Amino acid sequence: MDRQSQETRKAQHPVLRWHGFPREIQYAILELLACGHRRSARAPSTSEATNNSGRLATYAVVCRDWQAFFEAILFRRLMIRQQDLPEFGRLRPCRRGLVHHLWLRVELPSYDCSMCRQHETAKIMRKHNPIIRKAFCDLFAILNNWGERTLLDADSQGRGLTLEISVHSPSDSEHCFKNISFDHLSDEDDVCVLEDATHGWVGGRRTFQPGRFTTARIFGNSIYVNPRKRLPAVRVVKHLLIRRQTRRHFWHTTMRHIMRSLPELDSVRLEIWKRPSRGIQAANDAEFFTTFSKYLPKQVRSFVLFEDFNQDYDSWRLVSGIHNAELVRTPYQPLARWLAGSRKLQSLSASFIVDAKHYLDAVRHRPEDGPWQNLTQVSLTSLLLKWGTSSDETEGLLLAAASAAHQMPQLKMLELWYGRRGQACLFRYSVLPCDATEIFCSGTWDLELQSGVVEAWRLVSRSDFRVRKATRIDADLIQSHGDAIHHLGLMLDVLHPESLRQIRRDARKS
């Protein structure tokens, strides 16, 4: 092709350069390229997510505009294992402000079938604890050097860095407990059929109950971190998250070290597990009460405490002869009273570890302390919302809630609920966008609102008041407390969305 023909072709088909596009078109193109990564971001450990991240990293070197756009996506949520910490420590200062969510995923050594039905020994614990301690110390030392920093994202609204911590062995989900997950679940995970007859899985269902030590294996020993020096102070972290996928119990000294080293926390979300016996639970409750009351940073505004459980595990423990095992845990009253005195909180959610009755009684009996000026959202569970509870007890709970609400002038929503296999119940008070107030009931049984309860809540209302028609839920749909949360349609934040999905999946595949 001669020179003149080439010039004619260029004139007919001009080259479109990136900076020649309108800004709106540029953004649409970048969003189209990024959408595959956002779809797979719910499963960051899968090969699809890894491939998409690699592709975005390739896009980021095209030009400065592309670099700024794709690095904001790539660095927004980072999952690092202990072996990744040296590389993470070399993260350039200009990229630190892109990180919104940092997940430290401590992976303990794998184990084979000769060990999967045995509890962790003291010898194994002595191997695990240095791994965990070094990971914590290294991460906190790195973040200590970040200092205060502003998120480089217009949508961040200065919310700060979220630090998520998890500890597990990859083998925990490879033997008898193939229905549990330590990753974000993909749609394929929900439909896959589990097959491993040796470990009791045929056609996606469990064929025999794991023994006492088999169950104890996935809970391991307590996470004990007691460094010679205090963990370095990390002021950049504003939010702490520990999800229920960490079945290992955080020893109280470990939690205290973490709390003391995060002095700027604004929110805390802890999803812990019910302990195997009443005696162990009582000791644990007392230690955690001391931890929260003495070491929780005073400026924390949002506190979510969710105690998870598995009814099958609890039944197996009883069959295995564990002394004082409880099917339904006894709520811890001192913690409920302490929460009632935490007046700086704006949002509170406590599930199963305390009972709403004890919290509300503590609020009602402390009028001399003045109103709860900051509290806008409260979510609590109560055994008085179980099926079979006398109507007088349930009515007393709802009247106590109305009385307490009078001392919470900023209250926008209160949810009292309960759920476990075969039953679910919810009472909700809410201030609607139109400034009207509403009470509502839902559940697998009829929670009848007596006239005295309706009138008590009418007096709480400062404007138009409504009683929304109750809804009935089919009890057969409730295979777990996770199903109860889902079908009740809880509007307040009681646990992480991925944790809810894991609970429901665990129950379906157990």
DSSP of 423-447: EEEEEEEEE-TTS-EEEEEEESS--
Distance, CA of 289 to CA of 372 (rounded, Å): 21
Q: Which residue carries 């794991």 as its tokens?
A: 210
- What is the H or E stretch that residue 419 is in? strand 413-420
Residue pair 425/419 in contact by the 8 Å Cβ criterion:
yes
Locate tokens 């989900």: which residue?
173
Classified as helix, coil or strand, 164 is strand
What stretches in the chain show pLDDT beneath 70? 1-15, 20, 26, 30, 36-57, 59-63, 65, 67-68, 116, 149-158, 174-176, 178, 184-193, 196-197, 200, 319-323, 367-368, 509-510
In whole angstroms, what is the distance from residue 491 CA to residue 433 CA? 14
Residue 46's pLDDT is what? Answer: 37
Instruction: Report the pLDDT value the prediction gives residue 365, as an integer from 0 to 100.
Output: 82
Cα separation values, 312 from 175, 208, 279, Å? 17, 12, 20
**What local confidence, expressed as pLDDT, does residue 45 receive?**
42
pLDDT value at residue 221 = 86
Please provide the size of the chain in residues: 510
pLDDT value of position 152: 52
| Element holding 212 (H helix, E strand) | helix 212-219
Alpha-carbon distance of 281 to 324, in angstroms, equals 10
pTM of the model: 0.87
Give dist(CA 199, CA 213) in Å, integer: 14
- At 383 the pLDDT is 98
Q: How many CB atoms lie within 10 A of CB 40?
A: 19
- Residue in 212, 249, 201 with CA at minimum distance from that of residue 117: 212
Q: What is the DSSP letter of 331?
A: P
